[in-house]
Amino acid sequence: MTNTASIIGGGVIGGGWAARFALNGWNVRIFDPDPEAERKIGAVMDNARRALPMLVDVAMPAEGTVTFCETLEAAAEGAALIVEAVPERTEIKHKVYAQIEAVNTEGIIASSTSGIMPTELQSQMVHPARLIVAHPFNPVYLLPLVELVAGAQTDATMIERAKEIYAGIGMYPLHCRVEIEGFLSDRLQEALWREALWLLHDDVATAEEIDAAIAYGPGLRWAQMGTMQTFHLAGGEGGMRSMLAMFGPCLKWPWTKLMDVPDLTDDFVNKVGDQCDRQARDLVPRDLERIRDNNLIGIIRSLKQGEWGAGAVARAHERQLRPEPVAAAPMITQSRVVPVDWTDMNGHMNEGRYGQIFSDAAETIMAAVGADDDYVASGLSYFTVETTIKYLKETHAGERVQVRTIVTEGVRKKLRCLHEMVRASDGEVLATCDQFMLHVSLETRRTCEPGPEVAARVAALAAAHEGLSQ
Amino acid sequence: MTNTASIIGGGVIGGGWAARFALNGWNVRIFDPDPEAERKIGAVMDNARRALPMLVDVAMPAEGTVTFCETLEAAAEGAALIVEAVPERTEIKHKVYAQIEAVNTEGIIASSTSGIMPTELQSQMVHPARLIVAHPFNPVYLLPLVELVAGAQTDATMIERAKEIYAGIGMYPLHCRVEIEGFLSDRLQEALWREALWLLHDDVATAEEIDAAIAYGPGLRWAQMGTMQTFHLAGGEGGMRSMLAMFGPCLKWPWTKLMDVPDLTDDFVNKVGDQCDRQARDLVPRDLERIRDNNLIGIIRSLKQGEWGAGAVARAHERQLRPEPVAAAPMITQSRVVPVDWTDMNGHMNEGRYGQIFSDAAETIMAAVGADDDYVASGLSYFTVETTIKYLKETHAGERVQVRTIVTEGVRKKLRCLHEMVRASDGEVLATCDQFMLHVSLETRRTCEPGPEVAARVAALAAAHEGLSQ
């Protein structure tokens, strides 16, 4: 049986919930009095339909139905879960819960509030036991975190049911065990935001500079480890205890606008240190450093794709480092180490990445014959038609490899290369690739003759490499 | 001519600087009186030698020399840049600068301090004009951010020279134009850390829960956009101004331990809104949402590699969704959309990723014949020896594709598959792959016969698929 989720309130958050549930196969009924709601939610749904299925390497379930209802009652009736995502005003929320309770006595009522305590939210309900907070993060369809909070009158089994529901739609339910305003995540986010607003207010820095101070540094760490584990590692071999000994005094200096900080008594330092050790489980700082580095490499490399933030910096560095291709025979078309995101769990370079390094090698050849970025921008390029790869030896993350390339055919539309990937340390051949390309018009997407200069350079390269392939 | 950097102080930060400079071809001279310094820095260097070259897709320059000096003077003499990375005590730093000045009158002196003002640091120097702050982030060899701060007596050209130096070693120099304690990044980080320490102190949450509240949600956003741009997008179509209107009142609620917040006057709201608009340049929120989503997809997918944080959540979701393989002929061995990190700048699926999807398809076949994770753990597997891929049609990010596989040979050590990748919407064949695998012992890394059950299932599959390949 298909589950039904009801979404009351269709802003950025309500729309995100609608998308995450529907794309995970739930039927969704939405109520929002805003006449623009359908258009706004439609825009969020479009983003989500494009983005969420890309996260996983399998097919998503068939999308559930998405229905816009005329009344709150029609949306809420019979739903297993009613998501409340209306403005952060307690009196509005109380009214919404009363309307829900009039037609639905069974479903979990989950408020998306960013920080109002569930005890306050449920205070006027007839059946308060089924109210929980389930606080998500924008974009709701991509970010896994959802904070679950029970109020004083919430039935404990509701949190367990909710955990199952949210895990089932690909989320990470974090049970905030102690009820507190702002829960956990928003307290941390707001502390940072307040400081950011002061910096901007006092003309210390612009919005862009304040953001750069996060996104090129600490933010990259926070995508994979929180502030506690990050500082546990910054303490070096002594972990968090060293960190508190080194920087504890600074916490008393005027380094933030707001200064109150817990006293770093021995008891408190031990409490923090013990919890950081417990969090690390059997991983010593050296293990965690390796994990952190692997994660950072993957994150920064992923940002190279769109040349954004730290990825743009890495690309710029790469351009500085890229050598001019040398017209040797064979030509050295790739020289690099195998990065950790090219490998499987055992550290072996994945089969698929052999195709990638040979494709990168072909780009070096293209650049060398003048079929470079400008040429591609002019509407002409080479497309690969067929490749045959022979896998001879394994290779591992961190190993330095080179690709040597011979142009074996370069007549008219045809460009054929024989690539050899070798281990840099001893020249052992790890794999070969016979790659056949045809020259194409990017406009018609059909083959055509290359420009005269490219044709001449391809022919010259083929002539220079003649006889090398045996 | 090779540049020389001098590193005074060899902890986690000094070691990170030594690694980043040396791996970018600078000669490095280190002084640290700690008898353990060489071992500690060696450990950081080992991490860096493994990690930094993986960031770029080209070869790094030849590594510079790394020399441990007996005296500070020997390390500092003649260096173009002297990095000070000693403990955060002003009197120690003043003494170090005096020693440097006795032997080096030309080089830039760059303090790694996390927050002491350069005006104070340079106050006792003979040539204070060349002192700057260059504040990095751990791990220094991977994170691009370095905050540059001038003191009252610093020569403005020093900041420009420093920008070039740090950009040349792959960093993002952020000039903090207004001198303030803690600069920008540490003020923001400390605000968050203070709140985190209070939450732990008051037993609201454990270190692990506090970290989860960042790493599964806001931290993923901060790896690619700071808090200002993030909230600009959370405001929906109205951007930051809507966000301030919605959440401004909450800033006055007791959602953090420390409550002081700038008054949200019209003037201030406009100032923040204007700066967010300027930061966005010609990108409207809809464009930025698309960029953010692409970045988040790439980041979360990169974390799947090591099954860490949000990546572990996505993997778990994938396992829930993975269908049982159906013994159809041909067998559907992949069903997914093309993710954005598989495509080039034009949104076309990269040549190399065709190899990956066919490799993934082969894993489905292996699982179907019983050569699954347990079988691999027992020391047996299939290795691909040769693949021939024919590229027939282009495909794009977001397109739903399937792979249909026929086992064309399944005798003794041999397993041969013919894969067809088709567009899910109309069944058009996009590419084919003839993949030849041999059964191997993972212990000897040589071919051997499969176990009897696997052999029988391979033979059965080959028999069921017989005649389908024409």
Domain boundary, last residue among A175, A201, A227 = A175
A413 with A400: CB under 8 angstroms? no
A69 neighbors A75 (Cβ within 8 angstroms): yes
- The confidence band for B254, taking pLDDT boundaries of 50, 70 and 90, is low
Query: A464 at the B interface (CB within 8 A)?
Result: no
Closest CA–CA distance from residue B154 to any residue of chain A (Å): 18
**Res B241: pLDDT:** 83
- Per the listing, tokens 């380094």 go with A255
Q: Is residue B208 part of a domain?
A: no
The mean pLDDT of chain B is 91
A148 and A249 in a single domain? The answer is: no
pLDDT on residue B429:
97
Specify if B359 maps to a domain: yes
Q: What are the structure tokens assigned to A312, written together?
A: 């743009």
| Domain-located, residue B296 | no
Q: Does A281 touch chain B (CB under 8 A)?
A: no
What pLDDT sits at residue B272? 82
| C-alpha angle B38-B42-B46 in degrees, rounded to nearest 5 | 175
- Cα distance between residue B23 and residue B60, in whole Å: 7
Domain, as residue range, for A254 = 216-291
A327-372 pLDDT, tens per residue? 678 999 999 999 999 987 667 899 889 999 999 999 999 999 999 9
Domain check: are B232 and B169 in the same one? Answer: no
A48 and A135, same domain (yes or no): yes
Average pLDDT over residues B50-78: 94
Can you tell me the distance from the alpha carbon of B216 to that of A173, in angstroms, rounded to the nearest whole number? 10
Output the pLDDT for position B75. Answer: 97
Closest residue to B268, CB basis, from A193, A201, A293: A201
A333 shares its domain with A287 = no
Q: Can you point out the beta strands (E) in A282-370?
A: 331-337
Q: Which of residues 302-361 of A touch B (CB under 8 A)?
A: 302-303, 305-306, 308-310, 313-314, 316-318, 320-323, 335-341, 350-360
DSSP B355-396: HHHHHHHHHHHHHHTT-SHHHHHTTEEEEEEEEEEEE-S--B
Domain final residue pick, A175, A196, A230: A175
Pick from A197, A1, A364: which is nearest to B259 by CA? A197
Beta bridge partners of B31: B8
ipTM greater than 0.85: yes
pLDDT of B255 higher than 70: no
CATH code (residue B414): 3.10.129.10
- On whether any CB of chain B is under 8 Å from the CB of A294, the answer is yes
Three-state DSSP class for residue B348 = strand
CA diameter of chain B = 88
Of A184-193, A336-345, B184-193, B220-229, give the lowest mean pLDDT range: A336-345
Residue A445 at interface with chain B, using a CB cutoff of 8 Å? yes
Q: pTM of the full predicted structure?
A: 0.92
Is A313 within the bounds of a domain?
A: no
Q: Where residue B257 falls among pLDDT bands split at 50, 70, 90?
A: low
Name every chain B residue with its beta carbon within 8 A of the beta carbon of A276: 207
In a domain, residue A183? The reply is no
Residues A437 and A331 in one domain: yes
Chain A positions in Cβ-Cβ contact with residue B241 (cut-off 8 Å): none
> Burial letters for A188-223: b for 16+ Cβ neighbours within 10 Å, e otherwise?
bbbbbbbbbbbbbbeebbbbbbbbbbbbbbbbbbbb
Residues 405-444 of A with CB under 8 A from B: none
Residues B136 and B279 in one domain: no
| Yes or no, beta carbons of B260 and A258 under 8 Å apart | yes
Count of C-beta atoms within a 10 Å radius of residue B126: 9
Res B163: pLDDT: 97
At residue A1, the pLDDT reads 52
Query: pLDDT-based confidence at B68, cuts 50/70/90?
Result: very high
| B18 and B140 co-located in one domain | yes
Rounded-to-integer distance, Cα B336 and Cα A21, Å = 19
Statement to judge: residues A285 and A332 lie in one domain: no
Name the closest residue on chain B to residue A341, using Cα atoms. Answer: B305
- A 23-42 residues with CB < 8 A to B: 40
User: Position of tokens 């390309």?
Assistant: A437
Is A40 a domain residue?
A: yes
Angle value at C-alpha B350, between B347 and B353, nearest 5 degrees: 125
Domain end position, chosen among A151, A175, A199: A175
A11 marked among binding-site residues: yes
CA B382 from centroid of its chain's CA atoms: 32
Residues B41 and B153 placed together within one structural domain of the fold:
yes
**A147 and A222 together in one domain:** no
What confidence tier does B411 reach under pLDDT thresholds 50, 70, 90? very high
- Starting at the edge strand found earlier in the chain, the sheet holding A172-175 runs A66-68, A27-31, A4-8, A81-84, A108-111, A131-136, A145-150, A172-175
Scan residues 39-98 of B and list those with Cβ closer than 8 Å to A.
Answer: 40, 43, 47, 50-51, 53-61, 87-88
DSSP 3-state of A445: coil
Name the DSSP class of B431: E
The reported pLDDT for the residue numbered A269 is 81
Residue B414 pairs in a beta bridge with: B438
Q: What is the CATH number of the domain that holds A86?
A: 3.40.50.720
Same-domain check for residues B50 and B136: yes
| Partner-chain residue, chosen from A191, A210, A223, that has the shortest CB–CB distance to B220 | A223
Number of domains in chain B: 3
Same domain, B279 and B380: no
Two structure tokens written together for A349:
């370079």
| Residue of B82, B162, B154, B93 lying closest to B121 (CA atoms) | B93
Q: Identify the segments of chain A with pLDDT beneath 50.
A: none
Label residue B380 by pLDDT band (50, 70, 90).
Answer: very high
| B260 within a domain of the structure (yes/no) | yes
Residue A188 located in a structural domain? no
